[in-house]
Structure 1
């Protein structure tokens, strides 16, 4: 298998596009309550389980990576880090805290968040370190047209951003599946190898819009 390679030159733009983002990054140059990237899913469906994986690099401790809301449900799916290396993980409107995960500043980190509504089992994996599994929203689901945002937390549907929670630096290789992917697939993603792309969000077939001129890297 061939490892993914990254080549980028940060630029700024405000646009809407559908494109192959392989080898590219989104760059968030400064803290604020406006700049964010909005992603559109490949399909419209009710989610009863899901996996989100992405890579990030930053030098701050308090930030939001991924936020998904629906009209009827704030924090349908979200994960972010707060001070003290604690991660909040939301699924179907409920949340639990996850501890003891890596905190590699100024380096690329790979994170996957998995949730199965049937059992409620949720887990975070960062750089091949697995958190304990916890129960979140057993029997829940995610339905309705989603707004999916990188770099900000939605306190209301598509808005309500807080500058103190905004992400700074770079995000890439975002994928989302409508199921919990296997341990082997997660390991492959973590190691940077070519893997089966997401069937809900796919970095190589991404429909996205950049708001308030967050950066896109080439």
Structure 2
């Protein structure tokens, strides 16, 4: 308010001074003229009058100049006061806005204080409840249970992670060991291939005892078959022929099996379906047998010594033999490529196993049994490099045709 009052007074003074200045300067020329007219009768000398007039004019100019300077100073002072007043007004505005902000801040502080007091009351109530629960028989605070449970859970998780890490280490070590064993096996196999004997005159697989680990493996890949013929020379020692061959695929271990248990007939299994074959195989004698099958009506035939001994149909009709399986000699598979059963193992010798994807004609079967033909199967041929032995089974150089001829005067013809 003082500043506004000062500004009003300054403006009023400035207005009065300005009007006074204009009035004064407006009257100065008229006054000088009247003075000159009044003085003219007093001075007769024109030169003296001129000098006097000039002096008066000079003095008047000096006075006016001084007055102008004073007026300029006054104007500057008034201008400064006006500036101060304006700045004062702005300060008043800022002060008022600052006061409003302070008022708002004070209100916020009051609200925060009230919220803090509310939280304090709630915390005190919770503490009272917790103490009452803790004071009860066998009671414990809810928060205490939670902290302990979390600690216990954390410890269990840490132990579990540690066990998993140890298990992963063991698994990694086991994998490394398996890899090393695989490398050793491959190296050993390469060495065997480099030094193993060849059998130009034929060979047999020997299974000297009943085990669940001696077997032969046909290395050829088996394709899908809609018909087949399997032929083999066998010399069983005891308890029937066991399992001369078994073919398993993923999900079906009995996709194609020829077997004979102790005191049981010879059976042909296709997709776990069974047909009993009317074959009689004496011990310690070489016998040539063939079995054929076609998915058309599931027709099967069984040959012994080149002669058909039995025929039937309805065996896994319209079910093709699936590809990509494992063909084992001397053992029956309960899983793909393994889980052999010693009671179903072949004990004796096996040779000339061949597999075709068609039904051989009776004359073709007879020629194989009489050793007048050495035809090899187009799916699984009997060759040295296509058959491996494992678990103590051995390969021996022997021609079953010659052996059968020597053991029987009416044996197969050359």
TM-fit CA distance, 1:88? 1.1
Q: Does 1:95 align with 2:271?
A: no
Q: Which has the higher helix share?
A: 2
Name the structure, 1 or 2, with higher relative contact order (CA <8 Å, separation 6+).
1
Structure 1 unpaired stretches of 5+: 1-13
Following superposition, the deviation at residue 143 of structure 1 comes to 1.7
Q: Counterparts of 2:215 and 2:340 in 1: how far apart (Å)?
A: 10
Q: What is residue 344 of structure 2 aligned with on the other side?
A: 165
- Relative to total residues, which structure has the larger strand share, 1 or 2? 1
Q: Which stretches of structure 1, 4 residues or more, deviate above 4 A after TM superposition? A: 14-22
Q: How many residues align?
A: 203
What do the CA deviations read for 1:13-65 (whole angstroms, capped 9, x no partner)? x9576976751100011111111001022x55211111110001012123111
- From 304, 307, 321, give the equivalent of 1:142: 321
Note if contact 1:79-1:89 (Cα within 8 Å) is conserved in structure 2: yes
Q: Which residue of the partner structure matches residue 126 of structure 1?
A: 304
Rounded to whole Å, the distance in 2 between the matches of 1:108 and 1:190 is 11
Please, which runs of 5 or more residues in structure 2 have no aligned partner? 1-187, 398-414
Are residue 178 (structure 1) and residue 351 (structure 2) matched?
no
2:323 and 2:378 map into 1 onto residues whose CA distance is: 18
Structure number, greater radius of gyration: 2
Q: Alpha carbons of 1:22 and 1:203: their partners in 2 closer, same or farther (altered >3 Å)?
A: farther
Alpha-carbon shift at residue 96 of structure 1 (Å): 1.6
Structure 1 Cα separation of the partners of residues 246 and 200 of structure 2: 20
Which stretch of structure 1 is more off in the superposition, 77-86 or 51-60?
77-86
- Cα deviation for residue 207 of structure 1 reads 1.4
Deviations 1:70-118 (CA, angstroms, capped at 9, x unpaired): 113221111111234511101233112223x222211101011111012
Is the 1:110–1:126 Cα contact (8 Å) retained in structure 2? yes
Match of 2:386 among 207, 214, 217: 207
TM-score by length of 2: 0.46
Contact 2:245 2:327 in 1 (8 A): yes
Q: CA RMSD in A?
A: 2.2
Q: What CA distance in whole angstroms lies between the structure 2 residues aligned with 1:33 and 1:170?
A: 16
- Give the secondary-structure state (helix, strand or coil) at the position aligned to 1:184: helix
Q: Secondary structure at the match of 1:144?
A: coil
